[in-house]
Structure 1
Amino acid sequence: MKPETLVMKIIEAMETNSPTLITYNGKKVHITQKIIDKYKHCKVRDDIDLERIDENLTKKGGFIPFLPLIFAGLAAGATAGGAAGIAKAVNDKKAEAAANTEARRHNLAMEREA
């Protein structure tokens, strides 16, 4: 489709105030109400630039592509937290055993003196 025809379709969508779908450079471009509101105040219809509309509509990222990374980070954090909890329990048990051994040695030494 020629660019002039596409501009005419966009102008028609603005005049009728109805969103439409056009194909430009092999891509389907939705002319949404937001775009219509953006360009309908233009006095000169030559201001409509298809390249700019196409750039505005093509998403270059967003939140959804990062969801797996976020969940992976949470899972890694939970795993690390679980491992840290286990290591802390093991170290606490070793420290408690050492304290009990020292207390027993001290008690035996005190009983010998008495």
Structure 2
Amino acid sequence: MKPETLVMKIIEAMETNSPTLITYNGKKVHITQKIIDKYKHCKVRDDIDLERIDENLTKKGGFLPFLPLIFAGLAAAGATAGGAAGIAKAVNDKKAEAAANAETR
């Protein structure tokens, strides 16, 4: 789709005050109410730059990409604690068994 057609769709979304979805450079771009409110006050509609809108939409960084790593770390810590508890229990059972055998003798 030509950039002129995309700009016309954005202008139409601003004039009708309704969010829409357009495809630009193979990516789907949501023209949300936030973007409409941001560009609505512009007097000159020729200043609408698709690359700039696309840059505003693509969020870089954030918390969510690290969420699986955090849960994996918690799972590993839990497994380590469980393993240590198992070893401690085995050692204590062996000591108790040795004490019971010594008392029986």
TM (normalized to structure 2)? 0.71
Partner of 2:56: 56
Instruction: Kindly provide the CA deviation profile for residues 35-86 of structure 1, in whole angstroms up to 9, marking residues without a partner as x.
Output: 1011001111122110011111123343322111101222326625863896
Matched pairs, number: 103
* RMSD (CA atoms): 3.9
Q: Distance in 1 between matches of 2:73 and 2:84?
A: 15
Unpaired segments of 5 or more residues in structure 1? Answer: 103-113
Greater displacement, 21-30 / 87-96 = 87-96
Change (3 A) 1:56 1:100: farther
TM (normalized to structure 1)? 0.66
- SS of structure 2 residue aligned to 1:61: coil
Q: Distance in 2 between matches of 1:100 and 1:92?
A: 12
Partner of 1:73: 73
**Identity of counterpart residues, as a percentage?**
97
Bigger CA radius of gyration: 1
Unpaired segments of 5 or more residues in structure 2? Answer: none
Greater displacement, 55-64 / 79-88 = 79-88
Instruction: Tell me by how many angstroms 1:17 deviates.
Output: 0.2
- SS of structure 2 residue aligned to 1:52: helix
